[in-house]
Amino acid sequence: MNTVRCVRCRTEGAALKSNPFRAGTALVSLGEELRSSVCVDCYNAWLKSSVKIINDGKLDLREARAQHVWVSQMRAFLNLGGTSDPWLRFVDRRVRIETTSKVVTTAMLLRADDEKLWLADFNGGAIPSGFAPTQTGADGASGSASILRDCVLTIEEGAE
């Protein structure tokens, strides 16, 4: 069994058995980087998180922009470096967010791109003012919403 010193969990673990990306695609070199940097457990944790990011953020991976977002979030999640966006490290975590109109809330950060943030599970259930609903639960609670980056004053890892 090949092992790797994992950059995410910082322990020695099993390496990926093969390149997860198809030969001849643009992602092959990323696949090799994964095999030499990340353990199987952490990669599987990313895949699990990734499904949520794709579904909640409605990412269509056939689109280049969506692929770029997906790869950026993978790099941030797996601690691979190479991302210049400090907010990406909050993806899939609960954050405390303050908007320029002084609304303060906590929510799960689903996804972030150059323009917007997508959040869900807002504190108290309702989507606060200043956030554009993208999906609403049957009971009107636990919907998801987006907000422009320009409207965000601060974001930090937040307690429940």
Q: Which residues are at the interface with Zn ion (CB under 5 A)? A: 6, 8-9, 39, 42
CB of 42 to Zn ion, least distance (A): 3
User: Which of 8, 116 has the CB closer to Zn ion?
Assistant: 8
User: Which of 40, 145 has the CB closer to Zn ion?
Assistant: 40
CB of 122 to Zn ion, least distance (A): 31
Indicate the residue type of 101.
S
Residue with tokens 């997906």: 70
137 CB-near residues (< 8 Å, 6+ apart) = 143
CB of 8 to Zn ion, least distance (A): 5
User: Which of 19, 136 has the CB closer to Zn ion?
Assistant: 19
155 CB-near residues (< 8 Å, 6+ apart) = 87, 90, 95, 96, 97, 98, 109, 117
CB of 10 to Zn ion, least distance (A): 7
From first CA to last CA, the distance across the chain in angstroms is 40
Q: Which helix (H) or strand (E) holds 156?
A: strand 152-157
CB of 140 to Zn ion, least distance (A): 39
Closest-CB residue for Zn ion? 6
Q: What's the rounded Cα separation, in Å, for the pair 54 and 71?
A: 12
Indicate the residue type of 6.
C
